[in-house]
Amino acid sequence: MPTILVDLADLARLVGDDYPADQVEADLELVKGELKGADPATGRTKIELNDTNRPDLWSAAGIARQLRARRRGRGDAYKCFTDEPGGKRILVDARATEVRPYVAGFLARGPAVTEDSLAELIQSQEKLCDGYGARRKTVSVGIYRAEKIRFPVRYRMVAPRGARFVPLGMDDELDLQQILERHPKGIEYAHILAGAPVYPLLEDGRGGILSFPPIINSRAIGEVVPGDRELFVEATGTDLRAVLLIENVLAVDLADRGWEVEPVVVEYAFDTPFGREVRAPYPLTNELEVPTGDFARLLGEPLPPDEIERLLTAYGCDVELRKGRTRVATAPYRQDYMHPVDAVEDLAIAIGVNHLSPVWPERFTPGRLARLTLHEDRVRELMIGLGFEEIIANVLCSRADVTTRLGADAASVVALENPMSESYAALRPTLLASLLAVEERSAKTAYPHRVFEVGEVVVPDPGDPHASRTTSLLGALVAHPSASFSDAHSVLSYLGYYLDAPAELRPLESGTFLPGRAAEVLVGGRAAGHLGELHPEVLERWGVRMPVAYLELRLDALLAAAR
């Protein structure tokens, strides 16, 4: 979810001359926005926008547009979607399909660019490319000084070393491959072009290079400065609908600030979902037929159809009532309607969710805990009765903690492909490490220590569809100067009696425990855990200077065996 910086006074002015800036906060629910305080660096106000499918709202102009619709009772009509293109064209190579097929652009003429409006423009460009364009992968945007461009512009595919220019932010001419290797933006975004046989290039009618999409503009044409009055705004990408949507959003943002938009036509050498000649801005349609009864059914609020029409229109939608159905269409700068429920949500926002009165679910349903949880709780209660203190530890741990530091097998662990740090690189298959971490930390706490956890662990299991099983264990640890096998053994015997799951012991050889002082627990003939006196080598590795006895039981095995 993007966070943008706005000047609240500017935003209020865009809503209307008589609109008070202090009204913005309350109205932000219309755009799923939240004020997040002032940005200390710029003095502007931070607004977090929660809807990742509404990039049209990610600017002051976009927020103001939504608020304005309510004040005026309907959304604004933008003529840039219907104006005839002025004859300027972009020509697309057939080979674009091999790397980044689509491009769209328009011209904008208007008030001179100022420091503020340039900052706003750059912010929009970045938020749209990052948040909606998957960090430039599906859509990226370039903005240029139009006066330096001779149309037609060509969207040409060239060899990695087939073109050279001076990129923004540098003084030397580099070829495309060098840009990917040396320019900071090249290094950051090179992965998008990885493996491509050709690279895209935007070039004007005189052969002047505009940019190397989606990486970097040229310094000669692609550097907008305050005072510029004519801009060329293009987007390239892998999804034409997304490319056109972003162009539409940028066009209405500029139009709201008094710029005149001239559509440009793109001529493709191949078929696209929108034909071979595609203009931008493009009158995208996003239309739904909603069974009118669905509004009341899902919102729990009966509304007459004309009220639905009034509210949705004032939310900027185009509404037409038909027999039993309501046709709702978004403006061309929105593409978030997939299902009638999307229009239902627009109506809920238009009503204001606080105007819907809460009701409690009416139907009776019996509440109950999962059988495993009941069993866990029973074991926890018995352990607490025995005087054990409960621990909760994290499931993520270091691989060493649950293998070498316990004297256990390194292969017996489910680990992570992409750990954030070595400390949290594996899923614990035992609770022993969690409880030893308590001992490691608590040497100064008065003994005896009798601690336990009933918690989930993950054990590898090749037979499981997920190659692992999440299972619940009891781990109980006793530490005091004469802690011994019998401490753990009597806990086992106590639990076995009350859970009606008597246990048998079988000698266990394990690097974790002292030889001859460890046992595997069998319940109903099935392996159900183990117990023993910890090996002094293990205690040394954890810096524990107190004898420790440990019992671990698999609760699923106990549950299965309980008579």
- List binders of other proteins among 426-485 (CB under 8 A): 427, 434, 437-438, 440-442, 444-446, 449-451, 456, 458, 465-470
Q: Does 364 bind other proteins (CB under 8 A)?
A: yes
The interface region with other proteins, picked from 216-224, 419-427, 490-498, 516-524 by CB under 8 A, is 419-427
Q: Which is nearer to other proteins, 473 or 519 (CB)?
A: 473
* DSSP sequence for 197-251: SSEEEEE-TTS-EEEETTTEEBTTTS---TT--EEEEEEEES-HHHHHHHHHHHH
Give the span between the Cα atoms of 115 and 314, in whole angstroms: 33
Q: Closest approach of Cβ 69 to other proteins, in Å?
A: 15
Q: Does 187 bind other proteins (CB under 8 A)?
A: no
Q: Which of 1, 196, 410, 560 binds other proteins (CB under 8 A)?
A: 1
Q: Closest approach of Cβ 336 to other proteins, in Å?
A: 10
Q: Does 390 bind other proteins (CB under 8 A)?
A: yes
Q: Which residues pair with 139 in a beta bridge?
A: 237
Q: Closest approach of Cβ 382 to other proteins, in Å?
A: 10
Q: Within a 13 Å sphere around the CA of 534, how many CA atoms are in the beta-carbon half?
A: 33
Q: Does 100 bind other proteins (CB under 8 A)?
A: no
Which 271-310 residues touch other proteins, going by CB under 8 A? 297-301
Q: Which is nearer to other proteins, 394 or 412 (CB)?
A: 394
Q: Does 323 bind other proteins (CB under 8 A)?
A: no
Q: Which of 23, 42, 50, 493 binds other proteins (CB under 8 A)?
A: 50
Q: Which is nearer to other proteins, 117 or 286 (CB)?
A: 286
The answer to whether 145 and 228 have CB atoms below 8 angstroms apart is: yes
Q: Within a 13 Å sphere around the CA of 305, how many CA atoms are in the beta-carbon half?
A: 14
Give the span between the Cα atoms of 208 and 164, in whole angstroms: 11
Q: Which of 324, 368, 411, 509 binds other proteins (CB under 8 A)?
A: 368
Give the span between the Cα atoms of 410 and 406, in whole angstroms: 10
Classify 51 as helix, strand or coil: coil
Strands 325-329 and 287-291: antiparallel
Which residues 6+ apart lie within 8 Å of 282 measured at CB?
81, 104, 244, 247, 248, 274, 332
Q: Closest approach of Cβ 95 to other proteins, in Å?
A: 21
Q: Which is nearer to other proteins, 29 or 500 (CB)?
A: 29
Q: Which is nearer to other proteins, 109 or 380 (CB)?
A: 380
Q: Does 329 bind other proteins (CB under 8 A)?
A: no
Which 477-536 residues touch other proteins, going by CB under 8 A? none
Q: Which is nearer to other proteins, 349 or 522 (CB)?
A: 349
Classify 315 as helix, strand or coil: coil
Q: Which of 159, 384, 410, 527 binds other proteins (CB under 8 A)?
A: 384
Q: Which is nearer to other proteins, 50 or 482 (CB)?
A: 50
Q: Does 194 bind other proteins (CB under 8 A)?
A: no
The structure tokens 């932010």 sit at 169
Classify 366 as helix, strand or coil: coil
Q: Does 32 bind other proteins (CB under 8 A)?
A: yes
Phi and psi torsions of 130, nearest 5°:
-75, -55
Helix (H), strand (E), coil (C) string for 513-561: EEEEEEEEEEECCEEEEEEEEECHHHHHHCCCCCCEEEEEEEHHHHHHH
Which 103-132 residues touch other proteins, going by CB under 8 A? 131
Q: Which of 353, 410, 527, 560 binds other proteins (CB under 8 A)?
A: 353
Q: Which of 17, 421, 481, 563 binds other proteins (CB under 8 A)?
A: 421
- Applying CB under 8 A, the site for other proteins has a residue count of 94
What are the angstrom distances between the C-alpha of 452 and each of 391, 437, 485, 492, 561? 6, 12, 16, 13, 22
Q: Which is nearer to other proteins, 181 or 287 (CB)?
A: 287
Q: Closest approach of Cβ 355 to other proteins, in Å?
A: 10
Q: Which is nearer to other proteins, 122 or 467 (CB)?
A: 467
Interface map 232-271 toward other proteins (x if CB under 8 A): -------x-x------------------------------
Q: Does 349 bind other proteins (CB under 8 A)?
A: yes
Q: Which is nearer to other proteins, 14 or 436 (CB)?
A: 436
Give the span between the Cα atoms of 473 and 553, in whole angstroms: 6
Q: Which is nearer to other proteins, 41 or 420 (CB)?
A: 420
Long-range pairs, 292-297, Cβ under 8 A, ≥24: 292/321, 292/324, 292/325, 292/326, 293/324, 294/340, 294/341, 294/344, 295/326, 295/344, 295/347
